Structure formats: C-alpha cells, structure tokens
Amino acid sequence: MQRKDLAQTVARLNATTWADDATGLLDQVLNRGLVGQVAMVSSFGAESAVLLHLLAQVQPAAPVIFIDTQMLFAETLDYQADLASRFGLRDVRRVTADELTLRRTDPWGNLHQSNTDACCDFRKTQVLDRALAGFDGWISGRKRHQAGTRAALELFEADEAHGRIKINPLAYWSAADIAAYFEAHDLPRHPLVARGYPSIGCAPCTSAVGAGEDARAGRWRGQDKEECGIHFVDGKWVRTAA
C-alpha cells in the first residue's frame, strides 16, 4: 500500500474503531478481512496470554508468529508450548535466524555484549520481516502503559517501511485490566513473573525488576535502549524513549 493511502486508512480505522472492544476488533481483522491477510506476532512473554486467549476465542486457526532468538529463557519456550496447547492454537510459527546468518553474524553468540542493536536486528527484525512476507498487517500486544515510547499508541499504526498495518487491540488496556483478565479467565502466568520479571525478552539482556522500578527497567539494563527494533512510531524505528 502506498504511504499516503496507508496513512489515510490508518487514520480512518482509528477514528471508527472502539478502543474498548478488543474481541470485536480481532473479529473484524481475523474473520472479516478488515485489513487483508493478518498474522499475530507474540513473544509469549509476561502478558501475552491475554491477547492469545482472546485470539483463541475469535479465530484459533489464525497464524501466530513466535520469534525464537535462540537466546530466550527456557521458561519462555515451555510457556509457549503450554499456551499453544492449552488455547488450541492451530498455526503457531516458530521462526529463527538461519544457521548461515548465525555463523556469519554471531559465531560465538556474544554479539549482544558489544552491539545489542545489531543482535536484535538479525535475530528479531530480519527474521520477522521474512515471516511477515505476504501479510497485509500484523497484530501486536503492545500497550500504552508499558513504556514511554508507547504512551501515544493507537489501535492501528502504519508500518510505512513495509506497507503494512499494525494492529494493537490492547493499546488502551491498563495493567489493572490485564491483571483482571488473567484472574477472570484463570490464565497461567509466565513462570518468570513470580521471580520479578514483568517484561521478558532474551535471557542475556533481561534482568529482574526491583520494587518501584518501571516494568521494562530490566530490559537492556544500563543501556539507552527501550525497544528491540521491530516496532515503529510515526513510521520510524524506535530505539530509545521519545
């Protein structure tokens, strides 16, 4: 889709979609072709069960892309398998960087120690770009309450670099809303949440969060970095807080 058409479509969708009806939005996107062919992208992280459960109620056969960076916590891999089975998700696509790229780019598995952006780029961004080829849009679990870079998040965003539309059904959900949904539906928590990990990424770049800290304080701790690079704000790649 052309940039102008994409921007106009996104503006129209944001102006006509109810922010408090995540189930209805997913139905329009997954069952009624609102934006064409769509996949969900899930990290199977701390809050992922909510959106995955909603998707399972609406369309359990929808494609769900899970990026395995090959540096994830073992608990995340177990949680992914558990949720997929528990919710009856029929098309979870576990994608990784190919072996040749791994050998060329990070043969010793320590690139994250010197250049986290480059590590995220080849282990996540490039992998996702390939996985989303042929899709018109993709569903994200991001929410406004999670970080400064997400404070103005809308239900629909323009991914201008690829001519796609990104859908954020839970953009307006608060932390309390998420907690209430977990309790109401008796959803299992990621095992690391109880150990102080409210936001979970790759094992080498994620640490536990202390009392009073921001939920994402444990992601790339000590670095000027808040996002891995697969998300954009106003069509631009976001590395640090706005």
Kindly list the catalytic residues: 228
- C-alpha 226, offset from chain centre: 13
**C-alpha–C-alpha distance, residues 136 and 138, integer Å:** 7
* Class of residue 217 by CB neighbours under 10 A (exposed 0-12, middle 13-18, buried 19+): middle
- What does each C-alpha distance from 233 to 34, 50, 64, 80, 169 come to in angstroms? 22, 24, 23, 28, 16
Residues 6+ apart with CB under 8 A from 120: 228, 229
Which residue type does 171 have?
A
Token output for 36: 């064409």
Other C-beta atoms closer than 10 Å to the C-beta of 196 total 13
**C-alpha–C-alpha distance, residues 181 and 22, integer Å:** 12
Residues 6+ apart with CB under 8 A from 116: 205, 220, 223, 225
